[in-house]
């Protein structure tokens, strides 16, 4: 007897393919869906530089579905992807912020657009190849956890998921290592077993996001200034810079200089010494708490402030729509637009988007004292 119908988001890669394989073996009725999001079908482009959803990827997903006895469909979501991911990506750089398009894609495409399509297909669940785990209590309430394979963990990009979405979600590969998945694919005779992993920004051929910005945004010059406001150079657009950047500043200075702040209102790029990048904490908004309830008092957590960052201990305080965070140790290059994601050991509590660093004179006592008693 079937455990239910599940729509699996299949990119043609190893992770989503093995997700479909595992669910089929567990007894689910699997339907593979490949979302056509963005493509670069130039004949001279290298296979890993054509963006996502190439014809080769679609064929790989289809062959996996044939091998496991599942139906396979291709859904064109290019219009939705452009409106919710690509346009957001461009707009954030224009605002002097550094976006994370994978988070936008998860929130608005895979767990919104795809879930709605799956429900229209009378599916009970959707599934993806993300490295993360779901654990349910006796009442069926889900908790989102880090993957078994910490080196591949992708829970960071899933902080926007809500309880009603998690109850419809299956994440089978989070209980395995990448090596395990490749071996499972080989044992099943799937020819994607040794397929290389895709690039991070799927819609930017070759990963050169600055070139992508230049193609889609007109140059908007401004000043590169030091921390006292002295003009050091000119730039062709604030969207070419990100916090912590050292190369490409066009400044001849005996001491290394880094981008420490971007001012979209004045179109100034502010540079300074490396120590100016250190921050005692941060302010975040756009929060989502996976349990559905925000903490009502200061909480000791670990935090990641970028996808590949190491977790670090911190204290967070929710103040209305904002969350203030004090790091146990000052951190480098707190970057507006990136996600701040909070954990209790392996449990993902929630996250939001970085507004900016705390003032240098902020203290743990000053942020925790502001919580209403």
Q: What is d(CA 191, CA 221) in angstroms, rounded to the nearest whole number?
A: 49
Q: What is d(CA 258, CA 359) in angstroms, rounded to the nearest whole number?
A: 19
- Neighbouring-strand partners of residue 36: 76
DSSP 161-187: --HHHHTTEE-GGGGS-HHHHHHHHHH
For the chain, strand residue ranges (E) read: 5-9, 29-36, 71-76, 125-127, 132-136, 142-146, 169-170, 222-225, 231-235, 258-263, 268-272, 278-289, 299-304, 312-319, 322-332, 339-344, 347-357
202 is catalytic: yes
For the sheet containing 169-170, what is the strand order? 71-76, 29-36, 5-9, 125-127, 169-170
User: How much of the chain is in helix, strand and coil states, percent to nearest 5?
Assistant: 30, 30, 40
The separation between CA 253 and the C-alpha centre of its own chain, rounded to angstroms, equals 35
Tokens of 77: 């979501």
Which residue reads 């209790």 in tokens?
344
- Residues 244, 247, 251: CA angle, nearest 5 degrees: 105
Do 48 and 8 contact (CB within 8 A), yes or no? no
Active-site choice (53, 65, 102, 105):
105
Do 353 and 279 contact (CB within 8 A), yes or no? no
Which helix (DSSP H) or strand (DSSP E) does residue 116 occupy? Answer: helix 114-120
Looking at 40-96, list the stretches that DSSP marks H as alpha helix, in order from N- to C-terminal side.
55-68, 78-81, 87-94
Which residues are known catalytic residues?
A: 105, 202
């Amino acid at each position: 007897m079937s455990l239910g119908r599940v729509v699996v988001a299949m990119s043609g890669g190893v992770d989503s393919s093995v997700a479909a394989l595992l669910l089929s073996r567990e007894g689910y009725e699997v339907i593979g869906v490949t979302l056509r999001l963005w493509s670069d079908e130039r004949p001279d482009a290298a296979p890993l530089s054509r963006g996502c959803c190439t014809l080769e990827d679609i064929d790989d997903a289809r062959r996996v579905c044939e091998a496991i006895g599942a139906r396979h469909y291709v859904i064109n979501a290019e219009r939705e992807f452009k409106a919710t991911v690509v346009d957001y990506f461009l707009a954030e750089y224009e605002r002097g912020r550094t976006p994370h398009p994978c988070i936008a894609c998860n929130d608005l495409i895979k767990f919104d657009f795809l879930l709605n399509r799956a429900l229209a297909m009378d599916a009970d669940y959707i599934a993806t190849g993300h490295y993360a785990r779901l654990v349910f209590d006796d009442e069926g309430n889900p908790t989102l956890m880090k993957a078994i394979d910490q080196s591949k963990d992708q829970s960071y990009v899933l902080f926007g998921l809500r309880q009603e979405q998690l109850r419809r979600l299956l994440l089978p590969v989070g209980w395995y290592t990448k090596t395990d998945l490749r071996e499972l694919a080989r044992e099943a005779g799937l020819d994607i077993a040794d397929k290389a992993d895709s690039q991070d920004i799927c819609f930017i051929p070759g990963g050169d996001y600055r070139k992508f910005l230049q193609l889609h945004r007109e140059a908007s010059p401004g000043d590169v200034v030091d921390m006292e406001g002295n003009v050091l150079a000119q730039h062709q657009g604030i969207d070419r810079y990100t916090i912590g950047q050292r190369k490409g500043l066009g400044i001849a200075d005996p001491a290394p200089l880094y981008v420490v702040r971007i001012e979209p209102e004045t179109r100034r790029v502010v540079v300074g010494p490396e120590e100016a990048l250190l921050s005692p904490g941060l302010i975040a908004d756009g929060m989502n708490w996976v349990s559905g309830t925000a903490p009502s008092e200061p909480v000791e957590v670990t935090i990641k402030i970028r996808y590949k960052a190491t977790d670090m201990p911190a204290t967070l305080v929710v103040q209305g729509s904002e969350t203030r965070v004090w790091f146990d140790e000052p951190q480098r290059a707190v970057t507006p637009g990136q996600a701040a994601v909070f954990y209790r050991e392996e449990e993902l509590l929630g996250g939001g988007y970085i507004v900016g660093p705390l003032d240098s004179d902020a203290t743990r006592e000053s942020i925790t004292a502001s919580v209403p008693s």
